[in-house]
């Protein structure tokens, strides 16, 4: 589980249990979207009025997929994370807008989930843990194999794991962003580059 402290996020994370696949498919991605929003909050100027206008649901940056694409173009997330973020958007939208999409057995939702990097990681992880438990049996190896198998056992468990990966990654991105920006000037991207000669004391 990712480190969640917000009460509403904790409620969303645990309320969406396996008995409510549609809720999980809508609420867990909402937590991921919050993490994307926080990247923009960290990187952009703290002008509340402009932000509110751009990020409102009908605003230019109010759409989840648009924000994910812009975060990718700005270099905040890599190819693998961007790929999974867009698939999450498709899964959430289908759960939210298609009545027939009741759970992860839905053909399109299942295909999108199986195409996620996180999904493939769970299958590889479970297989590696199983092989270790067979070749070098021990209590720890058996526990690891059991946990990995539980994650890969159902589509909704795998989807939760994928969400955990994205949330933790985006939280780390924001943490790194805050550290890096703290040492830069506000206009660092467009400011004239430092003069090496002046910095060495050679300038007048």
Digit-coded pLDDT (tens) for 137-164: 666 555 455 545 555 567 888 898 899 9
Domains defined for the chain, CATH in brackets: 7-183 (1.20.120.330)
Provide the pLDDT confidence category of residue 204 given band limits of 50, 70 and 90: very low
pLDDT tens for residues 8-62? 887 777 765 555 888 889 999 999 999 999 999 999 888 899 999 999 989 999 9
Q: What is the pTM of this model?
A: 0.78
What is the 3-state composition of the chain as percent helix, strand, coil, each rounded to the nearest 5?
70, 0, 30
pLDDT tens for residues 101-131? 999 999 999 999 999 998 888 766 656 655 5
Average pLDDT across the chain, whole number:
82
Of 168, 4, 29, the C-alpha closest to 91 is 29
Q: Cα–Cα distance between 173 and 175 in angstroms, integer? A: 5
Do 31 and 13 contact (CB within 8 A), yes or no? yes
Cα-based distances in Å from 96 to 23, 58, 93, 101, 102:
9, 17, 5, 8, 10
Please say if the pLDDT value at position 173 is more than 50: yes
Tokens, residue 77? 């997330």
Q: Cα–Cα distance between 30 and 198 in angstroms, integer? A: 49
pLDDT tens for residues 74-88? 999 999 999 999 999
Tokens, residue 20? 């409510």
């Amino acid at each position: 589980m990712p480190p969640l402290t917000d009460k509403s996020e904790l409620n969303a994370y645990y309320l969406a249990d396996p008995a409510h696949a549609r809720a999980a498919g809508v609420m867990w991605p909402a937590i991921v979207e919050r993490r994307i929003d926080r990247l923009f909050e960290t990187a952009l100027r703290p002008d509340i009025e402009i932000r509110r206008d751009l990020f409102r649901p009908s605003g230019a940056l109010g759409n989840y997929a648009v924000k994910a694409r812009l975060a990718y173009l700005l270099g905040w997330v890599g190819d693998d994370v961007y790929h999974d973020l867009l698939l999450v958007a498709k899964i959430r939208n289908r759960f939210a807008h298609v009545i027939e999409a009741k759970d992860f057995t839905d053909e399109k939702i299942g295909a999108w989930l199986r195409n996620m990097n996180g999904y493939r990681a769970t299958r590889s992880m479970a297989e590696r843990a199983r092989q270790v438990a067979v070749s070098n049996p021990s209590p720890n190896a058996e526990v690891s194999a059991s946990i990995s198998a539980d994650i890969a056992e159902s589509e909704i468990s795998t989807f939760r794991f994928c969400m955990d990966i994205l949330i933790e990654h985006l939280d780390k991105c924001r943490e790194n962003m805050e550290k890096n920006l703290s040492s830069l000037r506000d206009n660092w991207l467009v400011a004239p580059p430092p003069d090496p000669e002046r910095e060495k004391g050679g300038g007048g």
